[in-house]
Amino acid sequence: MLHPLAYLRTLTPAARRNLLDTRAKLHDADGTYGLSYERSGTTLIDATAHHPRVHWYEVGPTDPAVPTVIYVHGFNISAETFYMQVRDVREQCPEVRQLLVDLPGHGQNATAAPATLTIDHAADACAAVLRERGATGPVIVVGHSLGGPVSLSMMRRYADEFTWAGSVQVSSAVEPFTMQGLPQVLAGPIGGVLEKAVRYTPRFAEGVREIVTDTISPILALAFYFRPMPYDIVDFHAAMIRETPLETYAGYFQDLLSHSELQAGIVLSEIPGYILVGDRDDVTPVTQSEKLHEIWPRAYMQVLPDSGHMPPLDAPGAVTTAIVRLIQGA
């Protein structure tokens, strides 16, 4: 086990090579570093877009009538964040289909122009995957971090198309992201480096761009943990960050500062759910979850001790338990 602050001291050249090795093992489907899945593919979002397709993974039965759990991940990571939840839900509820989406600009998707990266567009992508995969049965929606407002946008705007059976909102937000934690980091010196790298570094000079991401990915990963964590988890998180194109930071960040999902309370009032947040979360602090609870009093809210902004990785059992309880009640 490794204390987060100690991780910084391990970033020797050999440790950085290990980070690259970890990144290479993402998406290999064996579950060692990330998701073990049965099917994957891409779905068309918008034929007029420069990068019109979005990548997805699927686990479990293909019968469209069975309950479906859709996972919507956070900013600068990928669908593989939920690999522990998918593994454990598959063991406990094998009759359920699990569907995961790499949001535009993340994971295995192509680099996207920053102007196209918005919360509503990402919600459209998730709805497109559900539609293509034929989710006609009850749907349980799991949203984490950026995936919180994205999933709320999807539920609010597609309530007439899908049967929402419940939701687990993890480190979520219904108001514009506050100027603290990651937003504050990106608005400061690191954000300046990112902006210059995106604006002034030619695409052919990818080596320079990779040096920037090599530098910031361990720092950003460290910012989310407040308890001792295994090396492989921190490396896995840093590898997902490193995989995220710099354009993605410049894209979603502006929308996160202004987007509101307070109107989602109308659809949330009709479904059960859970609100989970770490007591050490400085990115979407407890006050954001309390605001979500105000518009969704039917949900059960749990503050996770010694957890930061990454409960799927630092409090995985709590997230899995919430999902399984909703499945059992669906």
pLDDT tier for residue 110 given thresholds of 50, 70 and 90: confident
**Is the pLDDT score of 208 beyond 60?**
no
Question: What are the two backbone dihedrals, phi and then psi, of residue 251, each rounded to the nearest 5 degrees?
Answer: -80, -75
**Using an 8 Å Cβ cutoff, are 261 and 288 in contact?**
no
Q: What is the pLDDT of residues 40-50, one digit of tens each?
A: 999 998 766 66
The overall longest dimension of the chain from CA atoms, in Å, is: 53
pLDDT at 164 over 90: yes
Domain CATH number, residue 153: 3.40.50.1820
Asked whether 159 and 263 are in contact (CB, 8 A), the reply is no
What residues pair up with 55 in beta bridges, in sequence order? 42
To the nearest whole percent, how much of the chain has pLDDT over 70?
75
Least confident of 45-49, 123-127, 135-139: 45-49
The stretch 237-256 carries a mean pLDDT of 83
Q: What is the pLDDT of residue 54?
A: 95
Q: How far apart are CA 111 and CA 114, in angstroms?
A: 9
Q: What DSSP string describes 245-265?
A: -HHHHHHHHHHHTT---GGGH
Cα torsion angle, 151, 154, 155, 156, sign: positive
Kindly report which listed range (40-54, 74-88, 149-163) carries the lowest average pLDDT score.
40-54
Bridge pairing between strands 163-170 and 39-44 = unpaired
Give the residue-averaged pLDDT of 320-325. 98
Tally of domains in the chain: 1
Quote the CA–CA distance of 219 and 252 in Å, as a whole number. Answer: 20
CA atoms of 65 and 38, how far apart (whole Å): 19
Query: 84: domain range?
Result: 4-329
pTM score, whole prediction: 0.86
Instruction: Convert the pLDDT of each residue in 274-293 to its tens digit.
Output: 999 999 998 889 999 999 99
